[in-house]
Amino acid sequence: MKPKSLQELYLEQLRDLYDAEQQIIKALPEMIEASASEDLKEGLTEHLEVTKGQVTRLQQIFTALGEKAKGEKCLGIEGVIDEGSNLIDGIDDPAVRDAAIIASAQRVEHYEIAGYGTTRTFATLLDDEGASKLLQQTLDEEREADQTLTALAEEVNVKATKGKSVAGEKSEKPRKARIA
């Protein structure tokens, strides 16, 4: 059903976030498994735990609204996750794969930041103060996750340039023929 009021749009956005978080909980273990860097593994594992708490917050909001905690398929995050997992799949170089994992994970975080920012603002406008606070907490966590990933990218992306010719430098090894 199409939302007919801001209240209904707010509820729709909450359902979208609820489904998105569940998709992320399903996707993260695969990304953790594929990570070579211990720091990256740790960062993603920690965010998986944080994400479970974010689901709980959404459930609290649904309960306070007298609504069933029910998701509505988030096609956006599905696309972001699919694209990331397709990309990561075929990469053999561990450092390059890690760089791809971070690239994909940051897209996920930015998508969430957009969703939580909007929904938090709706909550404030609709005088749902309790929800506004809970959504702000999650928004802060998503921003923190994004910053952690940026810091990790600084070490991982540098590693990914090793062994291959860096722009402006000559590689000492001859280029390997591309297999398959």
Residues 143 and 131 sit within 8 Å (Cβ to Cβ): no
Distance in Å, CB of 111 to Zn ion, minimum: 8
First-residue to last-residue Cα distance in the chain: 48
Question: Would you count residue 112 as binding Zn ion (CB under 5 A)?
Answer: no
Which of 14, 84, 142, 149 is the binder for Fe ion (CB under 5 A)?
142
Which of 14, 16, 61, 99 is the binder for Zn ion (CB under 5 A)?
16
In the complex with Zn ion, the residue whose CB is nearer, 75 or 125, is 75
46-75 residues near Zn ion, rule: CB under 5 A: 74
Which of 23, 37, 54, 148 is the binder for Fe ion (CB under 5 A)?
54
- Cα–Cα distance for residue pair 65/100, rounded to 1 Å: 39
* Residue 54 interaction partner, one of Fe ion, Zn ion, none, beta carbon < 5-8 Å per kind: Fe ion
Cβ neighbour number for residue 165 with a 10 Å cutoff: 12
Exposure string of 88-118, with b = 16+ CB inside 10 Å and e = fewer, is beeeeeebbbbbbbbbbbbbbbebbbebbeb
Binding site for Zn ion (CB under 5 A): 16, 74, 76
Binding site for Fe ion (CB under 5 A): 51, 54, 112, 142
